[in-house]
Structure 1
């Protein structure tokens, strides 16, 4: 399955509001503002305190439920189940912000940074780097505050954009945001390709699965407004810990 998304104007991509609300509420739960076993304030009260619409709040609460942190029951409200998310997660795509945040709510742990001149990546077969080399970052993704790995990932950045090295940290949400910051450009087009594959040997020990086990591979190509490739990402997901959900809505 392959999808292409574009954004008409070059604007800095921000996480959707409901994701930011979910993150704030998750932090409040972790900090003990809302204790395990307690019931959260009503939607009206929460929306007022967070200065958000009830629609955005409902999406945030649904995300917390998917993380396993709360449960929602009629006539009871939203009860806190645990302080931290469970290992698995659902990647939801319902708009540009969700789509560009294709890594979902995970954090990338960078295990290796190197320069390669001829990357062994079919996804880059039709792409070239003007400098003759690529900056390659290899690592794994996990949910915040959890050690269990859900995704093996490898990122390629064209050599002319490799000046992001000073901004690299052991753990990062995304790489493209560093590129946007350093080079004053914006990602305006994104192409996805989702494929069921047999787990490669290189990723097997990271995911803790046997080689050739069935897994889900997601490739993503990020382009700037002038059509330049900014970043290529290849991610391999443990299917027991990952699912993807698309939602589209007619403008009519």
Structure 2
């Protein structure tokens, strides 16, 4: 199961699971995009197919309906990836409604979906849950009280879920992406990758922005046989964003020194 599966990291994750042979239950509130993703995964190259579920994870009834749809597929539910999120970013001007929207989707929605799916995983003998957090949950950023607070909460939620669900054979981890070329980033940059790629890439050691498929690969690892002793942890897939700090390394330049003239 993948929430937020209609676009961005969710869509790439759904494709990765389908390519690995899984039937994927797609959950999203964007009905047209959800339908397109489901059609992609029902194409000939993906034999297992997909089940689209239109819903908003901030609503308990929608989470239960998604779990019911997954159970109706008739296959054991082995993985849940909580990708659905709102990118609403406000600072001191955040209204009560802004907080309700941010917390309702990013934190409450993730928790509700997990609670709805856990009985299916327990019945399957265990599985893996991955929550998509963010580098924003680890650091301070300007005018992002709402977004960063929810992503920080996801890191704590992941650890608590891992502790409580281990006895059922369920591992829970999170992934913290750096800046990734998703539809949201395209919107923010006006779709101008040529202009904004170098600017945004400079925040990462690898000097580029990530691709959704790179995050999906990490998610697939955490859900696979190579990560059976990994739980309660966060995996930064951020091109070195968190590791770099504020000082760049450039050939011939040391902190406090200027490059010699030639």
Give the TM-score normalised by structure 2. 0.25
More helix by share: 2
Which has the higher relative contact order, 1 or 2, with Cα contacts under 8 A spaced 6 or more apart?
Answer: 1
More strand by share: 1
